[in-house]
Amino acid sequence: MESANITVYGAGYVGLVTGACLAKSGHRVHLLDVDRAKLAALAEGRAPFFEPDLDATLASGIGSGRLTFAHPDDAEASDPDETAADRFVYVAVGTPSTPAGFADLRYVRDVMDRLEATAAAGTVVITKSTVPPGTGEPLAARLAKRGIGYVSNPEFLREGNAIGDWYHTDRIVLGGEPTHVERVAALYADIDAPIVRCGITSAELVKYASNAFLATKISFINEIASLCDVMGADVTRVARAVGMDRRIGEAFMHAGIGYGGSCFPKDTRALDFLSTVNGHDFHLLKAVIEVNARQRLLPVMALKRRLGSLEGSVVAVLGLAFKPDTDDTRESPAAEIIGLLLAEGARVRGHDPVGRLSIDDPHYVHAETLEEAVSGADAAIVATEWPQFAKADWTALAPVMTQSAIVFDGRNCLDPEAVRAEGLIYLGVGRG
Ligand code: UDX
Ligand code: UDX
pLDDT band at 77 (very low <50, low <70, confident <90, very high): low
Q: Which ligand is closest in space to the CA of residue 331?
A: 2
pLDDT of res. 145: 97
Q: Domain 5-198 maps to which CATH number in 3.40.50.720, 3.40.190.10, 3.30.230.10, 3.20.20.105?
A: 3.40.50.720
**Beta carbons within 8 Å of 429's beta carbon, 6+ residues apart:** 222, 225, 229, 235, 255, 256, 257, 295, 298, 409, 410, 411, 412
Looking at per-residue confidence, does 74 or 32 come out higher?
Answer: 32
Domain boundaries, given as residue ranges, for the chain: 5-198, 207-293, 296-427
- Distance, in Å, from the CA atom of 421 to the CA atom of 431, rounded to the nearest integer, reads 17
428: confidence class by pLDDT, cuts 50, 70, 90: very high
Q: What is the DSSP letter of 27?
A: -
| Percent above pLDDT 70 for the chain | 97
Which residues partner with 425 through β-bridges?
Answer: 406
DSSP for 84-126, please give it.
Answer: -SSEEEEE----PBPTTSSB--HHHHHHHHHHHHHPPTT-EEE
What is the helix (H) or strand (E) element at residue 163, kind and residue range? helix 162-167
Residue 81 has pLDDT above 60, yes or no: no
Ligand nearest to the CA of 173: 2
| Residues 348-363: tens digit of each pLDDT | 999 999 999 999 999 9
Say if 5-198 and 207-293 have the same CATH topology. no
Which architecture, in CATH terms, is 207-293?
Orthogonal Bundle (1.10)
Find, among 412, 315, 420, 307, the residue nearest to 363 by Cα: 315
pLDDT beyond 50 at 329: yes
- Whether the pLDDT of residue 83 is over 60: the answer is no
Sign of CA dihedral 417, 297, 411, 318: negative
Catalytic option among 21, 228, 263, 413: 263
* CATH code matching the domain that covers 296-427, chosen among 3.40.190.10, 3.10.580.10, 3.40.50.720, 3.50.30.30: 3.40.50.720
Radius of gyration of the chain (CA): 24
Active-site annotation holds for 263: yes
Ligand 1 lined by 13 (C-beta under 6 Å): yes
- Taking the CA of residue 154 as reference, the ligand 2 atom at the shortest distance is 7
38 lines ligand 1 (CB under 6 A): yes
Q: What is the mean pLDDT of the chain?
A: 95
Tens digits of residue pLDDT in 226-255: 999 999 999 999 999 999 999 999 999 999
pLDDT, tens only, 390-422: 999 999 999 999 999 999 999 999 999 999 999
